[in-house]
Amino acid sequence: MLKIYGIKNCNSMKKAFDLLNELALPYEFHDYKKQGIDTETVKVWLDQLGQDLILNKKGTTWKKLSEQEQQDALASQDNLIQALTTHTSMIKRPVIENNGVYIVGFDEEKIKALQ
């Protein structure tokens, strides 16, 4: 079963939910605003996908950090994991996992290919 990570009230998430429902693809939703996200999951994402794909530098949460906080977050993977688990809104959305394969961000073609 697909697992989709994100926060409920996000336009990209709403588009992903709508498309998954339209395609009748069952999924489990992990709301990391309510449930949080564990360091192991974030480490796997960073190891497999890289920080450029996972860290949302365009979002307001990242932009609200001071330059020093941003530099500290990027200083090491451990620091970045700490920042992402503390400020989950800095994780790009959605993250869809399908048997160890990931889609990050709303990508209609990749999601349709899950059928």
Q: Is 45 a catalytic residue?
A: no
Which of the following CATH numbers is that of domain 2-112: 3.40.30.10, 3.40.50.720, 3.40.50.2300, 3.20.20.240? 3.40.30.10
Q: Is 48 helix (H, G, I), strand (E, B) or coil?
A: helix
Q: Which pLDDT band, with edges at 50, 70 and 90, does 115 fall under?
A: confident
CB 114 within 8 A of CB 23: yes
Residue 35 has pLDDT above 90, yes or no: yes
List the chain domain ranges.
2-112
Span 94-109, average pLDDT: 95
Residue 6 has pLDDT above 90, yes or no: yes
Selected catalytic residue, list 10, 49, 53, 65: 10
Tell me which residue has tokens 């399908």.
98
Q: What would the two tokens of residue 105 be?
A: 């961000």
Q: Which pLDDT band, with edges at 50, 70 and 90, does 3 fall under?
A: very high
